[in-house]
Chains A and B, each alone.
Chain A
Amino acid sequence: MCLPLQQAAGQLESKAGAIPVENERRVAELDVSITVFAPGVPEDPLSHRRLQVFPRIREIEALLLPFMLREALVETNEWGAVRVLPVPDIAAELLVSGVIVRSDGEALELQLRAVDATGRVWLEKVYVSVETPSNGQSLTESGTSGYQKLFESIAEDLQIARARHNDKALADIIQVSALRYADQLAPSVFGGYLNTAPDGTLKIQRLPAENDPMLERIEQIRQVEYLVIDTVDEKFQELHAEIEWIYELWREYRRQVAEYQNDETQRLQDTRSGAPRGSYEAIKRLYDNYKWARTEDQLRENRAQAFDNEVGPTVMEMELRVAELEAWLEQQYAEWRGILAEIFSLETGLEE
């Protein structure tokens, strides 16, 4: 079985400058793997209240937001398969990972990194969106939220970064991805095909034969793995479909609360009581102002708990299913490695 890439590479050599369009994807259509974002919850639990971080909601956002990025990339029709993964795939053609730095209804701040299979960094940037409804409409009505614009911006930047690579470079990325995967499964067979350049990136030292049977087996295994990964990706899709509207409700609530609190805090600070300092009316006002602020905080925490109450069971079920699939895959990995090592030993007479 030929790597689809080798056909493309052959065509590139014979038709310089022409990008073949075949049943297989174009060389520019790299597969993108997006890992679940890091929630970015500060380690010090005592800082959570001050920073208005709700850890459980951040964990849920870490599952939802990558899917939104996935949708934005798929929408461009410029990439191969775009998948959301629970753990990073170091053999991915293009691996996108992120950390949620801030998400409080007023703004989303995402630290994003995109690395290709050779180890070259395509993007390393912080993206910020500030939540404002368009034309006075709520976010759920306007249809185009600041988050969507943020992900479209990321998609655009990835395309710009890709444009800096010529077809040969993109073809190399796909090759390196395949070889890295092969190296993971059968290091004794494919360990010497890549080497690390001084800049830390991986370079192809040599290529396997086009009809290498070991490579064919590995390609088949990879297709099986893709099936499992696609199933995991479907779980993320299902999760998104089920809880997206509740998440939008939560975001809208937070945005409105932030707006109201900012206005009210400003008003209370600017308004001075006419009563003499030290009088009952004056000190009661000081106490009531604090009471109002704390009551608002409590309400926000109750709403966060309400959000978790509503989506928690769905998320937990999805996480369990994904964990099951991951565990199965890991087990299979070990088995495949063992089998491949045995086959190699039988075919070559060499021990691993």
Chain B
Amino acid sequence: MLRSRNMFVLCLLITACSQQPTRDSAIRSYVGTEPADLSGSWGRDYWRGDDVNKVLERWFRQLRRATPDQRLASYPGVDNAGAITSSRDVTSILALARLADVITRLRSFTIFQSEHEISVERDQDFDMFCEFYDGVSQGTSTDFGTEICGWDGHQFVSRLILPDGLLVSHRFTIAQDGENLHVATTVASSATGLSFTLNRYYTKFEPYASPFDCIETLSRNRVCTMGEDSP
């Protein structure tokens, strides 16, 4: 999946998505009804979205075009401008890229949204969860990190703050037709000032309707009955 390390020693990386801010700023409150409805089942659109190798290759190409006396800081909209100064930074950005890729490998997920909650249920990963009461949002907190969340205009943002300055944020944007969803995932390190963003696209689909109605119980685990519409 990733190119050999030797190639990337020569790379100075720039953000793949100059249109996306590298520092998400989620607001914790909003007034009125929720800004967008993200509910539904979403399947990955593999035709669109970033490939992590291509994003890194793009950075490598831009780095090779740069002349020695040109500062990266003069490139407008460039992230990590001037931040890459050593091979250790390169190692760091590779690590961030790899983690972003692992986190965003989901084929599908389901979003449940109500007046008071948004829950993103992901297979093989924890559910992102955000509660809203009186317009104030609250994520979750454990001994190993804190999630904060909220609406930034019409975009839903979930930020995970982990130890050692590691940040993972997801920014959800739904298309006007309501059938397509864009998720920008940024993995950043405040320790190094570096970040890496991957964009994924998802399309809404109707999940398979099981003929069984199942509920979880404590003493008998899952109990299923035939649904009303089944023969």
Beta-carbon contact of B99 and A298 below 8 Å: no
Please classify how large the interface on chain A is, using the bins under 10, 10 to 19, 20 to 34, 35 or more: 35 or more
Residues of B34-53 whose CB lies within 8 A of A: none
Residues of A249-304 whose CB lies within 8 A of B: 249-250, 253, 265, 268-269, 277-280, 282-284, 286-287, 289-295, 297-298, 302-303
Of the candidate stretches A1-9, A43-51, A75-83, A90-98, the one touching chain B is A43-51
User: With the chains together, A296 CA to B77 CA distance in Å?
Assistant: 40
Helix, strand, loop or mixed for chain A's interface? helix
User: With the chains together, A295 CA to B103 CA distance in Å?
Assistant: 15
Beta-carbon contact of B216 and A290 below 8 Å: no
Nearest chain-A residue to B99 (Cβ)?
A: A283
User: With the chains together, A303 CA to B219 CA distance in Å?
Assistant: 10
The answer to whether residues A294 and B126 also contact, given A249-B219, A279-B95, A280-B94 and a CB cut-off of 8 A, is yes
Interface membership of chain A positions 285-325, coded 1 if the CB is closer than 8 angstroms to chain B and 0 otherwise: 01101111111011000110111011000000000000000
A327 near B: Cβ within 8 Å? no
Residue of B94, B131, B187, B218 with most chain A CB atoms under a 10 A cut-off: B218
User: With the chains together, A45 CA to B138 CA distance in Å?
Assistant: 10
Interface membership of chain A positions 89-107, coded 1 if the CB is closer than 8 angstroms to chain B and 0 otherwise: 0000000000000000000
Beta-carbon contact of A305 and B216 below 8 Å: yes
What chain B residues lie within 8 Å of A269 (beta carbons)? 143
Please classify how large the interface on chain B is, using the bins under 10, 10 to 19, 20 to 34, 35 or more: 35 or more
| Residue in B126, B138, B164, B218 whose beta carbon sits within 8 Å of that of A246 in the complex | B218
Beta-carbon contact of A297 and B88 below 8 Å: no
Helix, strand, loop or mixed for chain B's interface? mixed
User: With the chains together, A265 CA to B144 CA distance in Å?
Assistant: 9
What chain A residues lie within 8 Å of B98 (beta carbons)? 280
User: With the chains together, A44 CA to B133 CA distance in Å?
Assistant: 9
Nearest chain-A residue to B222 (Cβ)?
A: A306
Least Cβ–Cβ distance between B145 and chain A, in angstroms: 4
Beta-carbon contact of A293 and B218 below 8 Å: no
Beta-carbon contact of A287 and B95 below 8 Å: no
Least Cβ–Cβ distance between B119 and chain A, in angstroms: 10
What chain A residues lie within 8 Å of B74 (beta carbons)? none
Beta-carbon contact of B140 and A297 below 8 Å: yes
B189 near A: Cβ within 8 Å? yes
Interface membership of chain B positions 26-67, coded 1 if the CB is closer than 8 angstroms to chain A and 0 otherwise: 000000000000000000000000000000000000000000
Nearest chain-A residue to B124 (Cβ)?
A: A291
Q: Can you list 13 A-B pairs with a CB-CB distance of less than 8 A?
A: A49-B140, A246-B219, A277-B164, A283-B99, A283-B164, A287-B99, A287-B166, A290-B126, A293-B145, A294-B140, A295-B126, A306-B218, A309-B215
Which 3 residue pairs spanning A and B have beta carbons closest together?
A: A294-B126, A293-B142, A280-B95
Chain B interface residues toward A at CB < 8 A: 88, 91-92, 94-96, 98-99, 102-103, 116, 125-127, 131, 133, 136, 138, 140-145, 160, 162-164, 166, 168, 187, 189, 191-192, 215-221
